Amino acid sequence: MNDIEVVDLGLISYEDALAKQQFYAEKVKTEHPFRAYLLLCEHNHVYTLGKHGHENNLLVNSDFLKSIGASYYKIDRGGDITYHGPGQLVVYPILNLNNWNIGIKKYIDGIEECIIRLVAKYGINAGRLHGATGVWIGNAKICAIGVKVLHFITFHGLALNVNTDLKYFSYINPCGFTDKQVCSISSLTHKNIDIDTVKKQFTEEFTQIFIPNKA
Which position has the higher pLDDT, 18 or 131? 18
Tell me the CA end-to-end span of the chain in Å, nearest whole number: 14
With beta carbons less than 8 A apart as the criterion, state whether 142 and 119 touch.
yes
Express each pLDDT in 56-66 by its tens digit.
Answer: 999 999 999 99
Single-letter amino acid code for the residue at 208: Q
In a domain, 110, yes or no: yes
Express each pLDDT in 181-208 by its tens digit.
Answer: 999 999 999 999 999 999 999 999 999 9
Number of domains within the chain = 1
Neighbours of 123 (CB within 10 A): 9
Express each pLDDT in 74-87 by its tens digit.
Answer: 888 877 888 999 99
- Residue 191's SS3 state is coil
In a domain, 170, yes or no: yes
Domain residues for 140? 3-210
In a domain, 53, yes or no: yes
In a domain, 198, yes or no: yes
> Residue 22 — very low, low, confident or very high, per pLDDT cuts 50/70/90?
very high
> Residue 91 — very low, low, confident or very high, per pLDDT cuts 50/70/90?
very high
Read off the pLDDT of each residue in 9-35 and give the average, rounded to a whole number. Answer: 96
In a domain, 215, yes or no: no
Integer Cα distance of 102 and 83 in angstroms: 28
Strands 3-12 and 35-43: parallel
Q: Do you know the residue count of the chain?
A: 215
In a domain, 32, yes or no: yes
> Residue 125 — very low, low, confident or very high, per pLDDT cuts 50/70/90?
very high
Global pTM? 0.94
Distances (CA, A) of 215 to 4, 169, 199, 208, 211: 11, 35, 16, 5, 7
In a domain, 152, yes or no: yes
Integer Cα distance of 58 and 22 in angstroms: 27
pLDDT of the residue at 169: 92
In this predicted structure, the answer to whether residue 215 has a pLDDT above a threshold of 60 is no
- Residue 53's SS3 state is coil
Integer Cα distance of 193 and 183 in angstroms: 14
Distance of CA 150 to the CA centre of its chain: 18
In a domain, 28, yes or no: yes
Could you tell me the CATH number of the domain that includes residue 117?
Answer: 3.30.930.10
What percent of the chain is modeled with pLDDT above 90?
A: 82
Express each pLDDT in 146-157 by its tens digit.
Answer: 899 999 999 999
With beta carbons less than 8 A apart as the criterion, state whether 211 and 2 touch.
yes
Kindly state the helix (H) or strand (E) to which residue 153 belongs, with its residue range: strand 153-161
Active site residues: 175
pLDDT of the residue at 80: 83
